[in-house]
Every structure is written in structure tokens, then in C-alpha cells.
Amino acid sequence: MKPRVIAIHLPQFHPIPENDRWWGKGFTEWRNVARTRVLFNGHEQPHVPSDLGYYDLRLHEARVAQAELAQAHGIDGFCYYHYWFHGKQLLEQPVNGLLSRGKPDFPFCLFWANEPWSRRWTGDEKEVLMDQTYSPEDDIAHARWLCRAFADPRYIRVKGRPVFIIYRPHHLPDVQASLARLRQECIRAGVGDPYLIGADARCGGTDCRSLGFDTTLRFEPKLGALPHSQLERPSLKHLWRNLKLGVFSARLKVYDYLEACKAMRWYNPDYPIVPSVFVGFDNTPRRGAQGLIVVNNSPAAFQMQVENELRKTPHPEREDDLLFINAWNEWAEGNHLEPDLRHGHAYLDALKSAIDGAAAQPSRTKKAVAQEAAGSVLA
């Protein structure tokens, strides 16, 4: 049985008052995307959307079009980023719209991006625009809001339990206590004990079960695993690496896609994980020459990574049967399945080919799957 394939979805594409104050009237990610410039020969920028255009996610029609396109290419649901700041939500209109309308009829779950918003677009503690704070009272208020989403019949579940992901587990001051409150409130509300997944984006190698989660999302891209990715100034280290990729620059941070995949999987977990595969990465729309760029990310290379993960399932110790694709529409990070003018439907078609191929494979014994997973290496 193939896992359910869930695409991570960014609800950034509609204006909000806070972004108006911080970035200018009418700001959405499209402003960053449209003004991006080529920084070296072969740099694939700007990314221009094709089928869906520069949409506004306040529109029901835009959300329906996204769901129809995803479903047509084998995707089983969206995982929407969820922004909760001690009772205040940001970019909530797309999810609130699908909750209130009951449409599109497409499965979804939520992924709490619990980190500060900063002017650097990195989730760090510098130049903070919106801080992330916590309290026991807010844990309960948050849980009560989440119960509304968890009760929706479209909400993605594992063995009847609503899936909820937290991006930065260690950012919670007392993660186990916060998770216990969430579970207690959900059970009291009758929506069931949530299936809690901790993302290891900032804590690679951590078995999140030790923190009170049910399992761990091996989140990609894990940029901190790339050599010298935190080095902002020009350096010989950048220059030598970039020259190997045909880029003459001592400042840009450029990496090969397959090599980046290998570096991001530096640890070999002996505990259950939920896998993810990233499409590509280039955040120069947000950060200009200080951005990080992954090159050689082709539909064929992406398909190979998806196939590698699908071959490892079902894992003998994993009950969730989920595979996350990052991302559906991270346009300002050059990381999207949605079609653009350069590649059209190529990434979506590659994903569907991988999914169809996995569905056609005969089922295997748990022992065979375990032996293959243990001995597999990145192609």
C-alpha cells in the first residue's frame, strides 16, 4: 500500500494589515517573486506562474483550482502552514475560508510554524516583526481553536487521530506539558487524541517521541546541514564550492540538488520517521544575493527522490503511511509543484509518475522492506 502523499501549502498569498505595515501596502509573496533577478548564468529566475497565475488565496475559486490540480496529479491532501502567536493568527483567511465553506472537498491538515517572524525571513531572533511566546493558558486557547479544524470530516487522520505538526518542538518552553494540554483538550472536545508530529527542521537526529510526540517528520530542506550555509560574508569556501558548479562568486551560496539531499540526510535514524522530499530551493526572491540556491533540481532528480522514499514504505514500524512533499507553492523559495512558465507541469507529472509506479508495485514483506531501507543509499 502506498503512503498518502501530502503537499505542504503556504497560505501567504493574500494581503494582511501586518504585512502592509512591515513591507508596504498590498504586499504578498508575489511581490518578492516578481522582482527577482538572475544572479549568474543559468540561474532559473524569476519563477513565473502559469496555470493558476498570481492568485489571491482569499478567493474560493483559487483554493478550488489548487485542489483540483493537486488531486489530478495523485496528491492526497494539503498540509497548510498555521500561524498562531499567543492567540493571534496571521494568514488565516485561506484555512478559515475552507472551514466555513466546507469546500473544496480535499483532505487537509495543519502545520504550526511556531517561530518568530523576522525581517530576514529566517525565523531567527534578529529584527523580529512578530514574536512567538507561550503560556499554559494559550496552550488551552490554541487547542480549543484547533478542535474546530480537527472536527472537519476532511481533516487528515492516522488511525482516526487528527494529524498536527509542530515545526520547532524545542521552541516550546515545556513541550511535554504543552502537548499534554493539547491532547487533553482535544479528547475533552470529542475530536480524539491528536496524532502529533514533531518536525526536525532545527533538531536533526532527534526522536521526537522523547518529547511527547507520536513520531518525527524528517523535514527537508534542512538548510543547516549544508556546508557553510550560515556563512553570510564572501569567502574562499563559497568560491571553491561555487566554481565546481560553474558559478564564479565568493558570496553566493550555491549547492547541487542531489548533493544537498545527501547532506540533509546525514543521520540514519533508528526510530520511526515520516519522510519528506523537497522540490527545490532558491530564496533569493526574499534575500537577494544573501540567499541560498540549489541548482540541478530537475523533474527527473525530484522523481528519483520520491521513488526512493516510496520504495521504503510501508516501514515495518510506521503506522502513519504519509509522505510529505515540500512544497506546493513556496514560490519565494523556488520550491513549488505548482506549474510555472519554464517547467509547466513537469514536476507534477514527475510526482504522479512516481506515485503511479509505487501503486503498481507488488506488496512486499516487512522483512524485505526493512532490509532494503537499512541498506538503501541515495542514488
The answer to whether residue 345 scores a pLDDT higher than 80 is yes
What percent of the chain shows pLDDT beyond 70? 92
Asked if 241 and 303 touch (Cβ cutoff 8 Å), the reply is no
**Taking the CB of residue 128, how many other CB atoms lie within 10 A of it?**
14
| pLDDT of 312 higher than 90 | no
- Which residues, in sequence order, are bridge partners of residue 162? 157
pLDDT at position 368, please? 52
Helix boundaries (H) for 294-361: 299-311, 346-360
**Predicted pLDDT at 377:** 38
Mean pLDDT of 259-283: 95
DSSP class of residue 362 equals P
259 belongs to a structural domain: no
Decide if 243 is inside a domain. Answer: no
Residue 15 predicted with pLDDT over 60:
yes
CB atoms under 10 Å from CB of 122, counted, come to: 17
Beta strands in the chain (DSSP E): 4-9, 77-85, 88-90, 108-112, 117-118, 128-130, 157-158, 161-166, 195-199, 215-217, 253-256, 273-274, 276-278, 292-295, 322-326, 329-330, 335-336
- Res 318 pLDDT > 70: no
**369/379 Cα distance (integer angstroms):** 17
pLDDT at residue 191 greater than cutoff 60:
yes
Q: Is 266 exposed, middle or buried (0-12, 13-18, 19+ CB in 10 A)?
A: exposed
Q: Is the pLDDT of residue 121 over 90?
A: no
Q: What is the pLDDT of residues 58-109, one digit of tens each?
A: 999 999 999 999 999 999 999 999 999 999 999 999 999 999 999 999 999 9
- Report the pLDDT value the prediction gives residue 26, as an integer from 0 to 100: 96
The model carries a pTM of: 0.93
- The answer as to whether 304 is a domain residue is yes
E-state strands within 86-159: 88-90, 108-112, 117-118, 128-130, 157-158
Q: Is residue 60 part of a domain?
A: yes
pLDDT at 98: 97
- Residues 6 or more apart whose CB falls under 8 angstroms from that of 374 comprise none
Confidence of residue 363 (pLDDT cuts 50, 70, 90): low
More confidently predicted of 328 and 360: 328
In a domain, 245, yes or no: no
Range of the domain at 201: 4-227+272-287+297-375
Residue 35 lies in a domain: yes
Q: Does residue 122 form part of some domain?
A: yes
User: How far from the centroid of its chain's Cα atoms is residue 158's Cα?
Assistant: 19
- In the predicted model, what is the mean pLDDT of the chain? 92
Q: How confident is the model at residue 375 (pLDDT cuts 50, 70, 90)?
A: very low
Asked if residue 187 belongs to a domain, the reply is yes
For 146-181, how does the pLDDT look when each residue is reduced to its tens digit (9 = 90+)? 999 999 999 999 999 999 999 999 999 999 999 999
- What CATH code is carried by the domain that includes residue 347? 3.20.20.80
User: What pLDDT score does 146 carry?
Assistant: 98
Over 80: is that where the pLDDT of 22 sits? yes
For residues 87 and 106, give the distance between their C-alpha atoms in angstroms, rounded to a whole number.
27
Q: How many domains does the chain have?
A: 1
Does residue 376 register a pLDDT over 90? no
Determine which helix (DSSP H) or strand (DSSP E) holds 138, and give its type and residue range: helix 136-150
Q: 18 near 26, Cβ under 8 Å?
A: no
